[in-house]
Structure 1
Amino acid sequence: MSKNHPREDYEEFSVSPTVLLGGEVQPNPSAVLELSIKPGGWPRPSTASSFNAGKTQLSLTGREKAGVERVALFVALVYCKQWHEASISVKAPLNDVLFLKILKTYPDQTVAKAAEQALRRHLWYVSEENAGLAFFDSRIDVEEKKQMVKALDKPASKKELKRLEGKKMTMSSSLSSFVTSKTRSFFQKLDVDEGFLAKDPPLWEEDDRFKDAQKRALGLRVVNDAAERGIALVQRYLGSTKSAAQEKYLLQLVHHHRKLVGREKKEDLQKKAF
């Protein structure tokens, strides 16, 4: 509603579920009826909601309509929030635990089990080291953070895991169970003073060392998110030039131009030009 979405290319993903659930929106309501399906793959998340909102305009069988409704409801009620917070690094550990809890109680268990199976393929990052992200999540209660601090003295795993076994994380998993002495390497790589850990968690927010560490943790780029955007950029302009060198310069130019232009729409730029 503020028209200042941090990821403007996913703004439609906020609009569509809102409309689907009976809410009212201001920005570009026509986007709700847009359809965009990638051949051979899943529809974009916003598309599922768009499908349901405009299903009367489509020629679908009864089975197809029912399937679209199931996906649309899951996207609107569960997945939308998870998607939008995926780029916030410090929220990832707790969000995955909460996601598992939601999936266990979601009424449509066929959809929930499929989603859980997919989620467990992406739990590899919840390692002893990356568990350090959770120290900067303000949603985690004081008692849990105290247990996380105590766990920093727990010996690290004897074997180096390339991927965490997804089955070890359950809806009852505590984040402190993933913290060990190896988690301290996370603070070392951030190059921060971990002295704030000696204080009670309620006092961390007032500590300059914590503020600096939190700022650095929040500044971490989520690799998958950045990689997908990079791939989309390359795919869009691949083959537009005659040499690899020209292609590199073109991508740099596009990236620089996007920074200069910001979020202005094409019609707004045309008005300024004429």
Structure 2
Amino acid sequence: MRHPSADSRIQWECDLCLCRSRSVSASRSQPTGSISKARISNRRAATRRRFCTRSASALDQTCAKAKFAIINGSFVIVVKSRVGEKKRLIILFFTQNHFLIKDLCCWKYRNRQMIENPNGDSDIIFTRTLLLGIPSWKLSVRPTEAQYNVNSSSIRRARMKYRATYANNLKRAFNPEEIPLTIHWDGKMLEDITGHETVDRLPILASGNNVDQLLAVPKLASGTGESIASAVFETLLQWDLLSKARGMSFDTTSSNTGRLNGACTLLEQKLNREPACRHHILEIMLEAVVLKSLGPSSGPDILLFVRFRKAWPSLNKEGFKVADDPILQKIGSRNVELVLSFAEKQLDVFQPRDDYKELLTLVIMFLGGIPKNGINFMAPAGLHRARWMAKGIYAIKVYMFRGEFKMTKKEEVAITELCMFVVSIYVYHWFQAPSCRFAPRNDLKLLKDLKAYNKMNEAIAEVALKKFSGHLWYLSGVLVAFAFFDENVPLETKTKMVQALENEGQEDTLRRITIDSRVIEMSSLEDFVSQNTRKFFSITGLSPDLLEREVVTWESDPEYLHIKNIVSSMRVVNDIAERGVALMEEYNKLHTQNEEQKQYLLLTVKEFRKKFPDSRKSTLLK
């Protein structure tokens, strides 16, 4: 076997090897080199970290302490592993040009000797994390072992240099031309990386047509609107995205939406952009309904749900009950059919989170249907009020196990009211929320649905309507233009909307409107259109020429279809920012206490996870 090139150098970077890990068996293969009675002292073995198959982040630390050698022209990595109660030393062989699974060989440590594994697959343990990382390890070796710097400090410096180079190259390469971007952010209080205080972290991300890019997770001096606006603006400036940012997506907290000093207001003065996160708006509405039904809680958890979670292991999972006939009669047979059909269709669509699927499955079972994958109940998960979907999921589970789980009469009535609201109103609008094209029509529909819900439960309808009426961003004079690209809006309505563009609008355009509840049932989309609606096209950088053409020709107009495709890619939910928060929480205390290196690390990990979204073999071999 020939020796590797002598003029190449090692580039070692394990930050790319950070997918979720799970133990798998690797196929037995022959070694590319041979070892005869290689002795490794107990002292050296003690310095090697145990190879952890549970934690992906531990891989980086493990490999940083691994030992390296040249054996018959192959680059060798030695790491210690524990399989059950047995300790193993894994020897990984790399040739110069091949980093394939077949080039790996596992040897086990017995009586201070490395011997070839004779027992087949059962004792050969790798992790998918390791295999995913192999193509990303920029390893090239020198002819002699003496030319290696294998101490942990040298490896650490090489990793830091590589992170910086990788992140800076990523910034330079990110140039989404002619794609309107939506900027997302979401704050989170976390322990500082130095461990001395708690700081406010702000993940900032950009999304668009086939774009999902983490920009930064800066540390804020305070959680005020001014600090948030400054951090977002500075990040956009660093990435040269000021001219490309066409929208903003954020949670509707006071620090973001304050009329004078909110981050949205301050950024809008510089960028002239909006809107708010639709999922957060609906979450606020459901929170109000939960408080009305179950009453206030003294802590962050809902006590009824805490009791249910503790009782779950002892419940008979076969003892569930679907909705009673009086409940189904209140909902209405027609509405039951519509909700069942909608939930079944949504299950056929990709859902980004397991709790989305769980809610749809529970709704189907609540209404007496059977999901395609059969009847199955997941154990109750997070209880915190801030967790999306948890309230609706818990309410339906508690109701369906009302025969197994002891409740007071008052609690049973409250849970029944909450379930009826979730099934009748909430589930449809939650799963329609991500589409910005449908936002104006769906918001108007929700207003009318809540007015109609008065007949079923006046108290719940009033509190939900009051809360939602304070967040009518997408019926504002500017954002109502999304409805031009909604194929479910009748041509007649779109024609009236075009005609309404001549109506005089308010000089100070409101980001969100107020509406008299007495006129909701008579309102139509054209009632919200004015001259201000034309600002939508200047803000997004899209051509308004289509407004001069006949509405009936739009669906066959290439320019209209092009703009419709761009508008469809705009994200108006802040789930992407939540994933940024989760990433920062995961790596907040790992690998580095240097703020600059932390930013490089997060960008590197995020990019790697886009390339390898899962740990399947098919993904590895792409």
TM-score (norm 1): 0.83
* Distance in 1 separating the partners of 2:582 and 2:467: 22
Q: Is the deviation greater in 187-196 or in 205-214?
A: 187-196
> Identity percentage over the alignment?
28
Q: What amino acid is aligned across from residue 480 of structure 2 in structure 1? A: A
Q: What amino acid is aligned across from residue 55 of structure 1 in structure 2? A: R
Change (3 A) 1:70 1:83: same
SS at match of 2:502: coil
Q: Is the deviation greater in 178-187 or in 33-42?
A: 33-42
* Distance in 1 separating the partners of 2:447 and 2:500: 23
Aligned residue for 1:128? Answer: 477
Q: Is the deviation greater in 129-138 or in 239-248?
A: 239-248
Q: Is the deviation greater in 127-136 or in 176-185?
A: 176-185
Aligned residue for 1:49? Answer: 396
* Distance in 2 separating the partners of 1:134 and 1:78: 21
Matched, 1:164 2:513: yes
Deviations 1:153-183 (A, max 9, x none): 2223123324422447723221112111221
Q: 1:189 aligns with which of 539, 549, 564?
A: 539
Does structure 2 conserve the Cα–Cα contact (< 8 Å) formed by 1:153 and 1:180? Answer: yes
Change (3 A) 1:208 1:39: closer
Matched, 1:208 2:558: yes
Deviations 1:107-166 (A, max 9, x none): 112221121122112113432111110111111111111110011122231233244224
Q: 2:384 aligns with which of 38, 60, 64?
A: 38
* Distance in 1 separating the partners of 2:471 and 2:410: 31
Matched, 1:58 2:405: yes
* Distance in 2 separating the partners of 1:22 and 1:32: 18
Q: Which runs of 5+ in 1 are unaligned?
A: none
Does structure 1 conserve the Cα–Cα contact (< 8 Å) formed by 2:504 and 2:531? Answer: yes
Q: Is the deviation greater in 10-19 or in 205-214?
A: 10-19
SS at match of 2:526: helix
* Distance in 2 separating the partners of 1:253 and 1:45: 36
Deviations 1:21-55 (A, max 9, x none): 11111348434553532158894322222222233
Q: Over aligned residue pairs, what C-alpha RMSD do you find? A: 2.9
Q: Is the deviation greater in 139-148 or in 22-31?
A: 22-31
Aligned residue for 2:353? Answer: 8
Q: Is the deviation greater in 65-74 or in 206-215?
A: 65-74
Does structure 1 conserve the Cα–Cα contact (< 8 Å) formed by 2:437 and 2:485? Answer: yes
Give the CA deviation at 1:257: 4.5
Higher strand share: 2
Does structure 1 conserve the Cα–Cα contact (< 8 Å) formed by 2:498 and 2:547? Answer: yes
* Distance in 1 separating the partners of 2:603 and 2:402: 41
Describe how 1:74-153 pairs up with structure 2 within 5 A: 74-106=421-453, 107-153=456-502
* Distance in 2 separating the partners of 1:40 and 1:206: 44
Change (3 A) 1:188 1:160: closer
Q: What amino acid is aligned across from residue 66 of structure 1 in structure 2? A: V
Give the CA deviation at 1:94: 0.8
Aligned residues: 267
SS at match of 1:171: helix
Of the two structures, which has the highest relative contact order with CA contacts closer than 8 Å and spacing of 6 or more? 2
Q: What amino acid is aligned across from residue 363 of structure 2 in structure 1? A: P
* Distance in 1 separating the partners of 2:368 and 2:585: 37
SS at match of 1:119: helix
SS at match of 1:80: helix
Does structure 2 conserve the Cα–Cα contact (< 8 Å) formed by 1:194 and 1:209? Answer: no
SS at match of 2:369: coil
* Distance in 2 separating the partners of 1:228 and 1:22: 34
* Distance in 2 separating the partners of 1:207 and 1:24: 43
Change (3 A) 1:251 1:173: farther
Change (3 A) 1:256 1:62: farther
* Distance in 2 separating the partners of 1:113 and 1:236: 40
Give the CA deviation at 1:105: 1.4
Does structure 2 conserve the Cα–Cα contact (< 8 Å) formed by 1:93 and 1:126? Answer: yes
Q: 2:607 aligns with which of 244, 250, 256?
A: 256
Q: Is the deviation greater in 207-216 or in 54-63?
A: 54-63
TM-score (norm 2): 0.39
* Distance in 2 separating the partners of 1:81 and 1:158: 35
SS at match of 2:427: helix
Change (3 A) 1:231 1:33: same
* Distance in 1 separating the partners of 2:505 and 2:415: 46
Does structure 2 conserve the Cα–Cα contact (< 8 Å) formed by 1:16 and 1:32? Answer: no
Deviations 1:201-256 (A, max 9, x none): 23211111110111111111115444444344444554446343454345434533
* Distance in 1 separating the partners of 2:461 and 2:370: 28
Higher helix share: 1
* Distance in 1 separating the partners of 2:594 and 2:585: 15
Does structure 2 conserve the Cα–Cα contact (< 8 Å) formed by 1:204 and 1:210? Answer: yes
Q: Is the deviation greater in 192-201 or in 104-113?
A: 192-201
Does structure 2 conserve the Cα–Cα contact (< 8 Å) formed by 1:35 and 1:50? Answer: no
* Distance in 2 separating the partners of 1:250 and 1:15: 38
Change (3 A) 1:19 1:223: closer
Greater C-alpha Rg: 2
